[in-house]
Amino acid sequence: MSIQRKTKSLKAVQNYFDNRSAAVSVVELVGFFKDEMNKATVYRILSRMESEGLIHSFSGMDGLTWYASCKGCSSKEHYDQHPHFQCKKCGRMECLEVNLSIPKIKNRKIDSEIVLFVGECNNCLS
Ligand SMILES: [Zn+2]
Ligand SMILES: [Zn+2]
């Protein structure tokens, strides 16, 4: 793939996240870009953006990987220790802007945690 084409693909994915407040599943992303780039390219761009601190990933109810924009993360540090919320009616996935303190667990080293709140979103409630 040419450099120009690569840059164009990266920009397209970055734009997608810039224009979206909710999280997106990897399946939806691959489907969205299927005419522009193949699955492998989408995965490569996502992992690059994640290592640059632009987006973060987490697992949803169905075990799918989801991605959402980061706020104030850098390539050195990810600050995304927040829980996520999934609407069981419309499937919308959101980052919750609340602090969650992870308890210390005896005799265990914790590398990551998955906290997912499930319920009904603002749109579905009203
Ligand atoms: Zn909803
Ligand atoms: Zn998040």
- Kindly give the distance from the C-alpha atom of residue 3 to the centroid of ligand 2, in angstroms, as a whole number: 31
Q: Among the bound ligands, name the one nearest to the CA of residue 73.
A: 2
State pTM to two decimals.
0.82
Asked if 115 contacts 84 with a C-beta cutoff of 8 angstroms, the reply is yes
- Kindly give the distance from the C-alpha atom of residue 22 to the centroid of ligand 1, in angstroms, as a whole number: 11
- Kindly give the distance from the C-alpha atom of residue 61 to the centroid of ligand 2, in angstroms, as a whole number: 14
The predicted pLDDT at position 35 comes to: 95
- Kindly give the distance from the C-alpha atom of residue 59 to the centroid of ligand 2, in angstroms, as a whole number: 10
The predicted pLDDT at position 2 comes to: 67
The predicted pLDDT at position 56 comes to: 92
The predicted pLDDT at position 81 comes to: 73
CA 16 to chain centre: 12
Closest CA relative to residue 86, chosen from 59, 50, 56: 59
DSSP state of 87: E
**Beta 116-119 vs 84-87: how paired, if at all?**
parallel
Q: Among the bound ligands, name the one nearest to the CA of residue 121.
A: 1
Q: Which residues crowd ion ligand 1, with CB under 5 Å?
A: 87, 89-90, 92, 121, 124
Asked if 88 contacts 118 with a C-beta cutoff of 8 angstroms, the reply is yes
Q: Among the bound ligands, name the one nearest to the CA of residue 50.
A: 2
CA–CA distance, 121 with 111 (Å, rounded to integer): 29
Per-residue pLDDT of the chain (126 residues; tens, 9 = 90+): 567 777 899 999 999 999 998 999 999 999 999 999 999 999 999 999 999 989 999 988 878 899 999 877 777 776 667 889 999 999 999 999 887 777 788 998 877 778 899 999 999 998
Q: Among the bound ligands, name the one nearest to the CA of residue 96.
A: 2
Residue 93, amino acid? M
What CATH number does the domain containing 18 carry? 1.10.10.10
Residues 6 or more apart whose CB falls under 8 angstroms from that of 75 comprise: 51, 52, 53
Closest CA relative to residue 22, chosen from 91, 72, 88: 91
The predicted pLDDT at position 31 comes to: 97
The predicted pLDDT at position 90 comes to: 95
Domain that holds residue 97: 3-125
The domain total for the chain is 1
The predicted pLDDT at position 63 comes to: 84
The predicted pLDDT at position 113 comes to: 74
